[in-house]
Amino acid sequence: MSSPSASTTPATPAAKPQAAFRETVGRFRCAVLACPALKPRDKLVALVMLERVNRQMFEALGLLLTWTGVEAVARLCALSTRDVERARSALLAAGVIVRDRAGGRGQPTRMRLCLDWLEREDGTAGDAPDPSDDPSPDSGVADTGVGQSAQRPPTAPGSPAGTGLHRPTPVSAKPCDKTREPPRASPHASAGTSPPPSAAAIERDGHARIARRIGAVQHATWFRGCRLGLSGDRRLTVTAPNRCVADRIRAAYELELLRLFHVEAVDITVAVPPVAADSAFPLIEGRA
């Protein structure tokens, strides 16, 4: 009795989930590489995070989750932590990743690579026109006389006027559609993106914007005693009353501040308490 062929052997139950995981990761990798809105630095960080996605969580929940922190990504990409933070801010703004669960107590933030963004990218690529199709509409002009001179009748190939440098230039009867360069859009004209606030606006209503973003309770706990400022090179300065508050803001809210105020970097410092004039270096009166 002949043994069954390898093609008729039933697949194991884990074969389909593993195949779906590999297919999804491969599609996401291609979409990241083909996205024109991402810089090379952003693509590198996204690909490293994609390689660290937990396969068991995808098979159980259908989500692409990763716990890889900023330091680990910077080490794998050979980048600085500041560059990784800027790349993650760009990926968050583009919708490639979202913050699935905030970290704390030594635990890194859990990030999720958005499958909705992947579907939008695939849909955009699928809606691209076929280069073989003629995108220009019919102008209604007949093709009679196309390729012939409009000033003189066509000449015979052997005549002096029809050979060499004196051959008449063919003139088309159809109108010429010149491709015009599209106007350059403002960097803040895209949908859902507001212009960065000014220094006066940050000092005036910066705390209100933070409270709306993270909640009134969290704002009152960590930002109530902080001062906000903006330097000329688009750097947000947060002056905390003590080191504990500064460390908490740096660990949990630095990326949120980058996205909220559209700045290049966030500098978190600790306020220096003033020294009373009468308590510093008291004078000792001499004897009379």
pLDDT value at residue 199: 79
In CATH, what number is assigned to the domain containing residue 225? Answer: 3.30.300.180
pTM over 0.85: no
Query: Tokens standing for 230?
Result: 């903006």
Among 123, 148, 165, which residue terminates a domain? 123
Query: Tokens standing for 104?
Result: 């704390």
Q: Which carries the bigger pLDDT value, residue 117 or residue 203? A: 117
In CATH, what number is assigned to the domain containing residue 118? Answer: 1.10.10.10
The arithmetic mean of pLDDT across residues 137-156, rounded, is 48
3 state SS of 239? strand
In a domain, 76, yes or no: yes
In a domain, 7, yes or no: no
State how far the alpha carbon of 134 is from the alpha carbons of 40, 41, 42, 140, 225, in Å: 34, 37, 36, 15, 64
In a domain, 117, yes or no: yes
Among 70, 100, 123, which residue terminates a domain? 123
pLDDT band of residue 80 (cuts 50, 70, 90) is very high
In a domain, 163, yes or no: no
Q: Which residue has the tokens 């810089």?
A: 39
In a domain, 183, yes or no: no
Among 91, 123, 155, which residue terminates a domain? 123
Maximum alpha-carbon separation in the chain:
128
For the chain, the domain total comes to: 2
The 10s digit of each residue's pLDDT in 85-133 is 999 999 999 999 998 887 767 677 888 999 989 888 877 655 544 444 4
> What percent of the chain lies above the pLDDT cut of 90?
23
In a domain, 225, yes or no: yes
The 10s digit of each residue's pLDDT in 210-228 is 989 888 888 889 898 899 9
In a domain, 136, yes or no: no
3 state SS of 203? helix
Per the structure, the complete domain to which residue 220 belongs is given by 199-270
pLDDT value at residue 140: 44
